[in-house]
Amino acid sequence: MQSEYKSIANGIYTLKNVRLETGFEYDGKDVIKTKTDLFCIEIEEGKIKAIKPNSDIQSNGIDVKGKLMLPAFKDMHVHLDKTLYGLPWQALSPKRKTVKDMIAYEQQIIPELLKTSVERAEQLISLLQNYGTTYARTHFNVDPTSGLKSLENLEKALQHKEDSFKAELVAFPQHGLYYTDSASIMKEVAAFKSVDFIGGLDPYSIDGNIEKVIDFTVQLAIDHHKGIDIHLHESGESGMKTINYLIDKVIENPRLQGKTFISHAFALGHLSPNETEHIAERLAAAKVGIASSVPFRGTIMPIPTLKKYGVNVLIGNDNVQDYWSTFGSGNMLQKANLIAELYGYETEWELSRTLAFATQNILPLDEKGNQQWPQKGDLANAVFIDASCSAEAVSRMSKVEGLITEDHLLCKEF
């Protein structure tokens, strides 16, 4: 169990000896090194008030001792309401092989797990924070077994952590809309102000009707001004039909563009290069994003092609030590490292770009090495890393020593 960070400052404070990236060093056209320097940063009421040369430091400033300051991490697909973290170790059962097997298992265990889900959600949030994550998109179960309890408990945990952790919520019919009687509860939950996205699950293999499920989900999102984020594990014909049908519905309803995501979308990992390019172009045109963990049981998603066409690709840990998977670590820097290894991002420039999967597209330097973060007026969301630059942090999964989450500076010690 990881120890929690302690808040050592809030409101108005100054940091000294802060390492920031300032540009790239080139050998001809090739980036061979990232340049950095030390700065003094003033924080006021959750925003960066000023960035000054380190020579201007105040004697009473908090010394971060040359640690590298990077944008704070965001986990964009996680289930904070369903975790075994904090309980004794438990590997996966070989008896449960399908999603329907897992639904039946959840129906048995959820009543007992809900008794302690507030405490375990808080422990999981602390784990994410220890790895530098200050924001998450979290799904929560909506099903006849959970009722509204999963949401209620998750909201309690988030309220207890609200000073240092923020989240957006996805109402997730984990047991299917119609496979179990979840549609009526989804209608109720969709009206809640705290819910940001309407979720879904494998329309064909679970509910047996792609159009009926997608139409319901789209209409619910439109009626309540929410986004959409559906789980799609299906590959093959049904998976691609679901993706294309959802794209069509989003094109018909422009207000959903930029607010619609397909979680996992493993069907994209089994296409020919030409098919991949075609669907990537369609996703980008409709502004439908992909959210997933990396990798997933041998399925390698075509992330480079998706990014090439401008598809918004969000990354998360998904299951952190639970009964669906034991491999989620809670570490977004590890996810960036895995992506770099899977897709061969090895150079200084490539590794520096890969950090964007952990920060969700906020980078200290732009493509040409111009400094773009942090700037005066930016929200003070940052991590302090024991590394010389972004590339090293990704490659070595460097240790996070502390973080700023708007009003609070949290750390163990500098």
The two tokens of residue 144 are 């006849």
Q: Are the C-beta atoms of 118 and 82 separated by less than 8 Å?
A: no
pLDDT for position 381: 95
pLDDT for position 58: 58
Q: Residue 371 has what DSSP assignment?
A: B
Close Cβ partners of 265 (under 8 Å, ≥ 6 residues apart)? 232, 239, 243, 290, 292, 301
Q: Which helix (H) or strand (E) holds 234?
A: none
Distances 249 to 219, 253, 254 between C-alpha atoms, Å = 10, 6, 9
Residue type for position 258: G
pLDDT for position 25: 97
Which residue spans within 29-82 are E strands per DSSP?
30-44, 47-53, 62-63, 68-71, 73-78
- By the 10 Å C-beta count (0-12 exposed, 13-18 middle, 19+ buried), 162 is classed as exposed
Q: Which helix (H) or strand (E) holds 149?
A: helix 149-160
- CA 400 to CA 226: how far, in whole Å? 34
Close Cβ partners of 28 (under 8 Å, ≥ 6 residues apart)? none
Nearest to 267 by CA among 221, 231, 299, 236: 236
Three-class SS state of 307: helix
The two tokens of residue 229 are 């984020």
Q: Is the peptide bond before 295 cis (omega within 30 degrees of 0)?
A: yes
pLDDT tens-digit profile, the chain (414 residues): 455 678 888 889 999 999 999 999 999 999 999 999 999 999 998 999 999 998 766 567 899 999 999 999 999 999 999 888 888 888 877 887 788 998 998 999 999 999 999 999 999 999 999 999 999 999 999 999 999 999 999 999 999 999 899 999 999 999 999 999 999 999 999 999 999 999 999 999 999 999 999 999 999 999 999 999 999 999 999 999 999 999 999 999 999 999 999 999 999 999 999 999 999 999 999 999 999 888 766 778 999 999 999 999 999 999 887 878 877 789 999 999 999 999 999 999 999 999 999 999 999 999 999 999 999 999 999 999 999 999 999 999 999 999 999 778 888 766
Q: How many helices and strands (H and E) does the chain possess?
A: 13, 17
- CA 319 to CA 321: how far, in whole Å? 6
Q: Are the C-beta atoms of 200 and 226 separated by less than 8 Å?
A: no
- Any idea which architecture 6-66+361-411 has in CATH? Roll (2.30)
The two tokens of residue 344 are 């061969």
pLDDT for position 86: 82
pLDDT for position 3: 52
pLDDT for position 413: 65
* Exposure of 259 in the CB half-sphere (CA atoms within 13 A): 20
Q: Are the C-beta atoms of 262 and 223 separated by less than 8 Å?
A: no
User: Where are the domains positioned within the chain?
Assistant: 6-66+361-411, 74-330
- CA 291 to CA 316: how far, in whole Å? 7
Nearest to 325 by CA among 88, 117, 96, 76: 96
CATH superfamily, domain 74-330, is Metal-dependent hydrolases (3.20.20.140)
- CA 258 to CA 104: how far, in whole Å? 34
DSSP state letters, 312-364: -EEE--B-SSSSS-S---S-HHHHHHHHHHHHT--SHHHHHHHTHHHHTS--S
Distances 322 to 30, 57, 90, 252, 385 between C-alpha atoms, Å = 43, 46, 8, 38, 28
Close Cβ partners of 317 (under 8 Å, ≥ 6 residues apart)? 75, 77, 78, 128, 293, 328, 329, 330, 331, 332, 335
Q: What is the Cα gyration radius of the chain? A: 22
pLDDT for position 1: 44
- CA 121 to CA 322: how far, in whole Å? 12
